[in-house]
Structure 1
Amino acid sequence: MPNKGGRNPSGPWGRLKPVEQDPLESIGLPSKGDTRLLDLKTQESYYTKIVDRYMTFCSDAGQRDELLRRFSALEPSSSKSSSSNSSTAPVTSRRVLPSINDETLHSPASTKALSDVVAALRKLREGIVATKRVDDFAVQAYLFCIRLSILVKHSESYHPAILHLLRSIHPHHPLTSVELQEVVAYLVLDAACRRGALAEAFALRQRYSLKDTKVNAALTALAHDNYVLFQKVKRSVDGHRARIMEWAEGDLRMHTLKCFGRTYLSVELDFLEQATGSKWADLKQGDGVGWDLEGSKVVIRKIKAR
């Protein structure tokens, strides 16, 4: 029964519970008409929420191996993201988290958590671009986005972010020499390994005066289709560069297998696995190798008896 005056009784039955909104999803893309990220203070508070969410994910993942599996579950085929690293701490700091390598796990919850972070970073980047922001905060946010997106192998995020950082932010608010070399190395490796533009990779190295012996070795390996050297370089670099180099692995390994097919009648299994960086089962299932295994020897071709 209503009280006098027609008012409903106060209390739990007369009130709706407020809807809880995800702080990362509550803000939309500036390109879609949401203007909140055109405010500089809002950009900074939103970035803090992104980092908090990322750190929560890392904390929930627990052990290093579990964190690695969660990141590796997010591959480009699903347009989601994966892996660990990048800056955290105060907005003006450029401290970087330890990088993570590779592994696999299929977890919808993990995929959603990191997808939300990558999507939020896109919104933040749009806000920074729209406001033409070129300060230390912009550098911090872009470095975070680039490093995380590389480990996630989400080229749609890291490639345009690298270009904007180098072309629009760096000329007005210079990166440190270490940061510049880091970002240019990513760009060079991306051109060579993901886009297969080896000539462009050499041109970029020259344009930005990149001095990096491991990147040079990777380019040499690609230029000579040297899969053994390529694997050696990949094992020696940090998690970010190794992640970018993964884009070229399949084609290089296939080229190596074709060379074996044209050159040998048979090879020792250990030698084949070492040369291709893959186990026999992976070569059969993933690369479609149709050769026969007889004991410890792989028979590639059999001489037909006359």
Structure 2
Amino acid sequence: MAGKAKAMGKKAGNRLKPVRTDPLESVGFVSKGDHNLLLDHKLQQEYFDKIVERYLSFCAHYDKDLDAAMASLPTGPSSDATRNPPISSRPATTTKGPNAPSPGPSAATELSNLLLALRKLREAVISSDSRTPVDFSQRVYVFSVRVAILAQHPPSYVPSLHYLIDTLHRSSYPLPESELREFITYLILDYACREDNMIAAFELRAHARRRYEFQSKTVDRLLSALLQDNWFVFWKVRNGVDSYMRNVINWAGDRVRRQALKAVGSAYINVEASWVLEGCTGENGWTWERLVETEKIGWEKEGEKIIIKRPKRKPEKKLDPITESAKP
């Protein structure tokens, strides 16, 4: 009996599947008391390599529509997915059949996990500053900024930009000139486009010019366009930059589009539909139905014309029944 029970226990044990743990979740936050792993530089490097590998896998998995995957994080009053990660961890697809892709986390969940992992690593790098090589810290923060900008996640990229420029860029170990200019640009554009704080943007540009000899025609043109409500130049600049800068500039997109529509509405009676759809939105993909739905416009479309306002008809003058002439 004992042998039979032992055999049954062995079979039951074999049926228990090992618990799979996500390597990115195997460590905690230093700020929450987890001092066991990420304060060692060798383990920091290994953890960073895992993050990079997962990010590359994420990009490969969603290569057909990477922009949508990168924009999948939930938004809220703080837009902070590291404090408010996606609730659902269901697979991104529920398609069944022999050719269905293997189940996995949704794009939003995976992206949130990557941002959380980068935050853990950044905390560890700061806590072990005296023992962590500066070049490694710089690489972590450079990568973190770029991923967070593509994910449109300011709580990750704004503090990282400040720390990278103000602390990790040192006279003894400076960032490459091209990277320093890149990250100063992001911070200036974030002030101007997301925070709508033109004073802070101009002050940072002036400070960067004095301290770092910073120059950027793109930044100059964009700040000027925002200051003058010149939506034509704004969209031209926005459409001519790379995806990182475009993602930061996009924070001002709704504001500029609405300002453009307001200006058109006050200046014209009717306009060409194509001019409104492309000139005011800065993109080719907008339809009239989408614009009406988004901006709650009360204008009417007749053929290829947009009727903004219809001129009021003058009341007809009544004829005098005796003279059959118009009464004065």
Give TM-score scaled by structure 2 length. 0.79
Aligned to 2:175: 175
Aligned to 1:284: 292
For residues 269 and 285 of structure 1, what CA distance do their matches in structure 2 show?
A: 16
| Residue-by-residue CA offset, 1:257-293 (whole Å, 9 max, x unaligned) | 1111211111111221232124322220111111011
Written as runs of structure 1 = structure 2, the 5 A alignment for 1:28-67 is 28-35=28-35, 36-61=37-62, 64-67=63-66
Kept in 2: contact 1:162–1:187 (CA 8 A): yes
For residues 9 and 298 of structure 1, what CA distance do their matches in structure 2 show?
A: 78
Aligned to 1:258: 262
Aligned to 2:99: none
Written as runs of structure 1 = structure 2, the 5 A alignment for 1:237-248 is 237-248=241-252
Deviation for aligned residue 1:80: 4.3
Deviation for aligned residue 1:70: 1.8
Whether 1:127 and 2:124 are equivalent positions in the alignment is yes
Deviation for aligned residue 1:185: 0.4
For residues 304 and 8 of structure 2, what CA distance do their matches in structure 1 show?
A: 83
3-state SS in 2 of match to 1:57: helix
| Residue-by-residue CA offset, 1:28-82 (whole Å, 9 max, x unaligned) | 1111111121222221111111111111212222xx433233223336446449x
From the superposition, tell whether residues 290 and 51 of structure 1 become closer, same or farther in structure 2 (CA, over 3 Å): same
For residues 8 and 273 of structure 2, what CA distance do their matches in structure 1 show?
A: 80
Aligned to 1:102: none
**Percent of residue pairs bearing the same amino acid type:** 36
Aligned to 1:185: 185
2:237 maps to which of 226, 233, 236: 233
| Residue-by-residue CA offset, 1:92-147 (whole Å, 9 max, x unaligned) | xxxxxxxxxxxxxxx96111111111110011111111112461111111011100
Deviation for aligned residue 1:249: 0.7
From the superposition, tell whether residues 175 and 264 of structure 1 become closer, same or farther in structure 2 (CA, over 3 Å): same
From the superposition, tell whether residues 153 and 76 of structure 1 become closer, same or farther in structure 2 (CA, over 3 Å): farther
For residues 18 and 273 of structure 1, what CA distance do their matches in structure 2 show?
A: 56
Deviation for aligned residue 1:18: 3.1
Whether 1:204 and 2:204 are equivalent positions in the alignment is yes
| Residue-by-residue CA offset, 1:189-219 (whole Å, 9 max, x unaligned) | 0000000111211111121122111111111
Bigger shift: residues 171-180 or 143-152: 171-180
If asked which structure has higher relative contact order (CA below 8 Å, sep 6+), I would say 1
Kept in 1: contact 2:25–2:117 (CA 8 A): yes
Written as runs of structure 1 = structure 2, the 5 A alignment for 1:31-110 is 31-35=31-35, 36-61=37-62, 64-74=63-73, 76-77=75-76, 79-80=80-81, 109-110=106-107
Between Structure 1 and Structure 2, how many residues are aligned?
A: 278
| Letter aligned with residue 71 of structure 1 | M
Bigger shift: residues 243-252 or 268-277: 268-277
For residues 220 and 279 of structure 1, what CA distance do their matches in structure 2 show?
A: 29
Aligned to 1:154: 153
Aligned to 2:276: 272
From the superposition, tell whether residues 134 and 163 of structure 1 become closer, same or farther in structure 2 (CA, over 3 Å): farther
For residues 131 and 235 of structure 1, what CA distance do their matches in structure 2 show?
A: 41
3-state SS in 1 of match to 2:298: coil
3-state SS in 2 of match to 1:115: helix
Bigger shift: residues 294-303 or 137-146: 294-303
For residues 146 and 11 of structure 2, what CA distance do their matches in structure 1 show?
A: 47
Deviation for aligned residue 1:295: 1.4
Kept in 2: contact 1:80–1:115 (CA 8 A): yes
For residues 308 and 72 of structure 2, what CA distance do their matches in structure 1 show?
A: 34
Deviation for aligned residue 1:157: 0.2
Give TM-score scaled by structure 1 length. 0.84
Larger Cα-atom Rg: 2
| Letter aligned with residue 219 of structure 2 | V
For residues 67 and 252 of structure 1, what CA distance do their matches in structure 2 show?
A: 25
Aligned to 1:164: 163
| Letter aligned with residue 224 of structure 2 | T
From the superposition, tell whether residues 7 and 65 of structure 1 become closer, same or farther in structure 2 (CA, over 3 Å): closer
| Residue-by-residue CA offset, 1:143-186 (whole Å, 9 max, x unaligned) | 11100100111000000000011111112531010110000000
- In structure 2, the gaps of 5 or more residues are 83-103, 315-328
